[in-house]
Amino acid sequence: MNKRILRLFESAVIQDKFIFDCAMDEARQTIIRDFCNFCQKKLEIEEMPQVRLVDKKEENMSTGAYTPGANTVLVLAAHRAILDILRSLGHEFTHRKQDETGALKNIQPQGDRGKDDMSDVGVDFEDEANAKGGALIKEFSRKYGKVPFETLFEL
Ligand SMILES: [Zn+2]
């Protein structure tokens, strides 16, 4: 994507909240920043989490993780459509909101802790994160307009 278009993408974001430990072009990084700001506004999150995108699965995560206390969000970015990355971000941002309101009673890092772990299956905070994450991505993808809609489905 050319530089002139990229400059149009620049928005007022706190850049140091984002760490890209993965190969990702600037256009996608901008979409991710814009979506995180959108989530913060929509969910009325007081303190923006530190967001780190990685290209390899790390401990305590499946495709994403939220760590209460540290207020960090970790999301797997490699080999995923941007829409799927955003869905994970919306899910983890919902956990941040739950943490701020006290709804997140479980103080363990939120994320898949292995195939035998059932502690986040069918529990309220997890179902809410799935539902809100889905709603956030739907609204964002339809309103965004900075990139063609189909771009969001590309790997
Ligand atoms: Zn979750």
| CATH class label, 15-105+118-153 | alpha beta
Q: What residues pair up with 120 in beta bridges, in sequence order? A: none
Q: How far is the CA of 12 from the centre of ligand 1 (A)?
A: 28
CB 10 within 8 A of CB 30: yes
Domain coordinates of the chain in residue numbers? 15-105+118-153
Q: Is 104 helix (H, G, I), strand (E, B) or coil?
A: coil
- Could you tell me the two tokens for 116? 């035998």
Q: How far is the CA of 78 from the centre of ligand 1 (A)?
A: 19
Q: How far is the CA of 91 from the centre of ligand 1 (A)?
A: 6
C-alpha dist (Å) from residue 40 to 59, 118, 128: 26, 29, 16
Q: What residues pair up with 6 in beta bridges, in sequence order? A: none
Q: What residues pair up with 69 in beta bridges, in sequence order? A: none
108 contacts: CB under 8 Å, gap ≥ 6: 68, 119
Instruction: Convert the pLDDT of each residue in 96-138 to its tens digit.
Output: 999 999 887 655 555 655 555 666 666 888 899 999 999 999 9
Please state the pTM of the whole predicted model: 0.82
Q: How far is the CA of 48 from the centre of ligand 1 (A)?
A: 17
Share of the chain above pLDDT 90, in %: 55
The residue among 109, 143, 103, 142 whose CA lies nearest residue 123 is 103
